[in-house]
Amino acid sequence: MENFFICGGNKLSGELDISTSKNAVLPILAGCILCEKQIIIHKFPKYADTKSMLDILESLGAKWYFQDESVVIDGENISKSEIPVELASKIRSSIFSLGSILSRFKKAKVSYPGGCAIGARPIDLHLKGLKSLGVKITERHGYIYCDGSNMKSGTVNLDFPSVGATENIILASVYLKGKTRIVNCAKEPEIVDLSNFLNSIGAKITGQGTSIIEIEGVQKVDGGEYTPIADRIITGTYIIATAMCGGNVQLNNVNIENVSALVSKLKNNCCKITYKGDKLILVADKKPKSIAKVETMPFPGFPTDLQPQITSMLSISKGTSVVVENMFESRFKYISELKKMGADIIVNDKTAIIKGVPQLYGATVMSNDLRGGAALVLAGLVANGYTTVCDVKHIDRGYYKMEEDLQKLGANIERIITKA
């Protein structure tokens, strides 16, 4: 098992380049299934999840290889329309491939996706949307069989602005003759990036970033190359880490619009945040203060993927704060671990009431999911004494060598590999 061993108390200082967005690259990789030509994705982030997605493309027949900081993908020989269950069950984004496989082959066989254990993670909105486009779907023995022989463009009304369902339906519509409209779609920056990528290789998508997206079907997309956006959740994680530890940090490759919900929550709190171009500068010289209420919402609201991290910060903030998790029904699991470090938090359904304590203390804690694990690392950075965050493979899904990033900023953290 791989763990992080942290000695708390260091301030953070220095400069860090933010890597490319996991949640932009995953649907873009699914989009490569549509293409029979070569695609190069620059600044490719080697998170565990993006590598799992490359495995899925390879299982369908694609060839790929790393070239410096890029990955070169050749989809010419993609011939399979079925994703092996052992690959599909590893990551949530396997389900996005369904739309692309249907576009290319008009049929697909997939099993239920994996992903962080933060809720039931249903896919009813994905399937309902595909059915609106004429896909016949049967679910049997743990598999989802899709017959897209009568697929046609149309209007899909999403009951909820689901990120994945929006991406899946976009990918399923690229080759549908005529115009497909997705109403009440997600507006996340990653949806915009997927649409911009697809347009860069010949698709015709408009409205990305609003609640209505339209896709004009095309015959075929072309090859090309693309540089996806920076990871706004990694950006937010390190903003919060600096606010907690104190210090002076510059983050490069930042799109301030994509972290505005967090930045506005931290205004007049404990750090001075300025930005110029894609550089964000943080000066944190005061103890964090409580925040009356943080509610997670679809973009541009406060992102659910930063909920655990801000809760870590609030656990050492002066005063009482309230965090409401509206997006996932079990995204507070990390709190039981945080309480082992001395946090004073009461959870009731989707609300956490956090009473700030003067100091957390080191402990051995388990990371159960990606962002909950990141929150425990942040707590370890400020705790008094030593913290071991166990099973960091969850964190590796969405942060590439997080310990090295934090070491660059002066944190006392190392990765320990144990036999257990």
Amino acid 243 reads A
Contacts with ligand EPZ, 18-37, as mask; x by CB under 6 A: ----xx--x-----------
Instruction: Report the residue from 43, 90, 104, 126 that binds ligand EPZ according to the rule CB under 6 A.
Output: 126
32 is catalytic: no
Instruction: Report the residue from 76, 124, 344, 404 that binds ligand EPZ according to the rule CB under 6 A.
Output: 124
Task: Report the site for ligand EPZ in 230-289 (rule: CB under 6 A).
Answer: none
Q: How far is the CB of 333 from ligand EPZ (least distance, A)?
A: 13
Q: How far is the CB of 234 from ligand EPZ (least distance, A)?
A: 10
Decide if residue 371 touches ligand EPZ (CB under 6 A): yes
| Total interface residues for ligand EPZ by CB under 6 A | 26
Q: Which stretch binds ligand EPZ (CB under 6 A): 70-78, 116-124, 209-217, 309-317?
A: 116-124
Tell me which residue has tokens 């697929």: 151
Q: How far is the CB of 219 from ligand EPZ (least distance, A)?
A: 29
Instruction: Report the residue from 123, 156, 176, 378 that binds ligand EPZ according to the rule CB under 6 A.
Output: 123
Q: Which stretch binds ligand EPZ (CB under 6 A): 32-40, 118-126, 130-138, 380-388?
A: 118-126
Q: How far is the CB of 317 from ligand EPZ (least distance, A)?
A: 23
Decide if residue 162 touches ligand EPZ (CB under 6 A): yes
Catalytic residue among 32, 35, 116, 270: 116
Name the residues that contact ligand EPZ, by CB under 6 A. 22-23, 26, 92-93, 116, 119, 121-126, 160, 162-165, 186, 304-305, 327-328, 370-371, 398
Active site residues: 116
